[in-house]
Structure formats: structure tokens, C-alpha cells
Structure 1
Amino acid sequence: MIGALVLTLPVVALLLMLFRGNGDEDEGPLKAAIVDQLSITVPNPEFILDATSKLEQAGYVVDYYPGEEVTVSFYRQLPFFNYDVIVFRSHADRLQTVDDQGNAFDEVVLFTSEPYSEERYQSEQNDNDLVIVRYSEGGDPFFGVAAGFIDNVGNGFDGAQIIMMGCEGLLTDTTAKAFIDRGAKSYISWNETVTASHTDAATSVLLGHLLLEGLPPSVAVAETMAELGPDPLFGSELVAYPPET
């Protein structure tokens, strides 16, 4: 169902990618994470196998996190795992609100799979770092991770490339900027609502251009859109942030 051209890396290039660091310092193998919060509601094991294969071909050790593990605590710990690539296969939604102090919020919220509770994380709820999200109007509430939460995590993302597969991930750039401000190299996502099938197909192609061919994020995004086009239902397109990456 998902197809992409898989290029074989030259042996020398592959060996160079397998280890980081400069001089005599060996920082270990490249690491990637697939955070599959969508696995609970829209599973796609074929995509996971394809994405894992591409990442491994590019020299990454891959960790997979199913939806059940995607909690507030997981997001809090994620920066400390020192991933070089993080693929968020996650629901997302736009948050537009004004708090009691008159502060306006317009950002993208990443869904967790942790049921909402008024009693938990009260300080972060008061600051709108954690908010209520639902899959549908009137549905069960869950915690959502907002840009302020990313801003306040205790570690940086240290040059990681972030691929946020969910809806509206770059409808505004607030959440993208939070990742960049915390050290991420780039952030790629959609500028509107996207269907699960299209984001899976596009991300598969994107990984080939970005990691196997080694194209810059903005070029990899342009090549992916040239091949697959916008989402056929919603017209959304992949975007790279910052645009010059």
C-alpha cells in the first residue's frame, strides 16, 4: 500500500552515519524513535515496518513506542533519550484560547493516551502546558501536550529531526518553534488536517528522501509533495520548519 524508492547507501557513507561525534569522542550509534500514539485508533503495522526498515538502512537503532506508552510521563522523559530522529505518528489538534491573565494561545497540541484527570499535573494545567483533548466532540478526555510543555522539559532535543505526522502540526509554528528552541534541528508536519492513509504514505516517501538520500528537510519535503501531492481530502501539504532548513 505504501511505496517508496529505497536507495542502498554506499558502505563508507553508512559507516559514517552509524557513529556520531568528532575527534576521538564516540557518542554511540544514531538513534530514532517512532512514537505511534495512533496505534490505538488507526493502527498501520505495514507503515511501522516500512519506516523502521528505512531508518535502519540509514544507520539508526530504532525504538518503537505503541500508543499505550504515550503518556505525559513519556513526553517528559523523551528529550533525555537523546534521539536523532523522532517520528510522531500522533493525533494533534489546534489550541486557540485566552487564559485568565489574558494570555493568548494559538498552537498545536499533541495527544497522549493518558485519560484526563483534574487532580493531576495541576500546575501545568493552570499554565496551559497540558490541556484537555478529545478524539471527537463529547468523547472521552485525554491529556494533550502543548508548546509550553515542550518549552519547559528538562533537557534539549540536541539536533534531532522531528517529523510530526498528525493533523495541523504546522498550521501555526508555535509548537514547531518550541521544539527548535529546545535544540531540534528541524520540524516537519502538515499545514492542515490530513488523513491517516496519506500521512503514512507521505512519511514513508519522506524518510527515503530525508535519510537515505540525505536531502535537506525543505528539499525532502518538496520532493515528497511533488511525488504524492496534497492530501486528497483536505488539501494539506507537508511543510518544513524553519523554512530554510
Structure 2
Amino acid sequence: MSFSTARTLAIISTVTAGLLFFGGRLSASRALSLTVPNAEAAEPLASAPSKETAVFAGGCFWGIDAVFRRVKGVSSVSSGYAGGTRVAPDYDQVSSGTTGHTESVQVIFDPSVVTYSQLLQIFFSVHNPTELNRQGPDHGTQYRSAVFYTSDAQKKSVDTYIAQMNRQKTFKDPIVTQVAPIDKFWAAEDYHQNYFAGHTNQPYIVINDAPKVALLKKRFPSLYKEPLG
């Protein structure tokens, strides 16, 4: 397995921060201390298709991947790259910040069980959408917050929800999440898939990603399930 210099430095800085603050306990993001509102206009379940695809980017894909694997109605989660121009990018290329991609997760879900609006609420609960081109210890456009919509209905939902949160001042600062149509989602290397499951004791995971999973279970108990393998 190879890691980019940027990710290696992020892990080192996370370990250092963990030793300095509260014996290794550090909030993954200021956003995790906030309560994100329900969407004002949720789509009806009755008219939903049997399967839908969503793509989210909220910093390192390890934590976002772990969260959505634990959501009822989600049948598949893949870590990968979206929003860039290079064909079939690999991890090192994306990590260089020169391809335009951001680390993302592709979520296949049953909207009769969990709606897209509910997925948006979860997504905006587990990362900080006010941080521009960074998330926690990870810096660069490859870690930007983004929602890549797969339909006009999804675009309307995310635009409306972001406007609602900005109007209600859910976050202290304006939301900078990119909203764009999905062009192509490229699956990441195998070792990145379900990374959380095999590295639960890694300091980066403990400090940055485990709190996201814990938050999902605490705030969305009716949607929480045991993780996909």
C-alpha cells in the first residue's frame, strides 16, 4: 500500500494532536457538535424508484464510507474519486491536487427505506461544510466538500437544503459545499474500500472518523444498522 505525502503528514499531525489534546480524544470537526436540521421539503417515499445513486465528498473518504455503510436502506458503498478531468486517476495522482478530483463515496440506496434528503442530513452532520478545500487535518482541493447529483431532483433537494441551513444559520460560517452534476465516478484502489473496518485502532481513524460513526448511531438511531461488509 502506498500513501501520498499529504496523507502521511495528516496522519502524523493527527497522532501529535491526539497526544497533546485529551489523551488522543479530539473532535473530528466542529460541525460534529452541531445539530443539522431536517430538510423542509423531503421527497415522498411512494414515488421513489427502487434504487438510486448518490455521490458525496466530505474530506477523506474513509470516514464518509464508514458512515454510509451503517445506514439502513444503503446496499452498496464505494470509495473513489469524482469531479476531476483525468481519466482513471489513481490515489497518488488525486492526492497531488492536480486532477481536479475530490475523494468521494458512491452510495447505492433504496429511497423507499431512506430518502435522499435523509442522506443529505446525515452527510452534513458528519463533516464541516464550511471548510474550503480542506477537512480537519487534510488540506487541498482533493478534500473539498461536494455533492455530485445524479438527477434534477437531487440537485433541487441539495440546493434547497443548503439554502435552508444558510438561512437558519446552522453553521457559524457560510456553507462552501460544491454542488455539481456527476460526470464520472472512479472507484478507488481496493485497499481504500471499507478502510475503517480494518483500521479501527489507527490514530487517524480514532480521532477523525470514529466520532462520525458514533454520531450517526446517536443522532439517527432509527436509520442505523450494522455495517455492510
TM-score (norm 1): 0.28
Q: Which has the higher contact order (CA 8 A, sep 6+)?
A: 2
Higher strand share: 1
Higher helix share: 2
TM-score (norm 2): 0.29
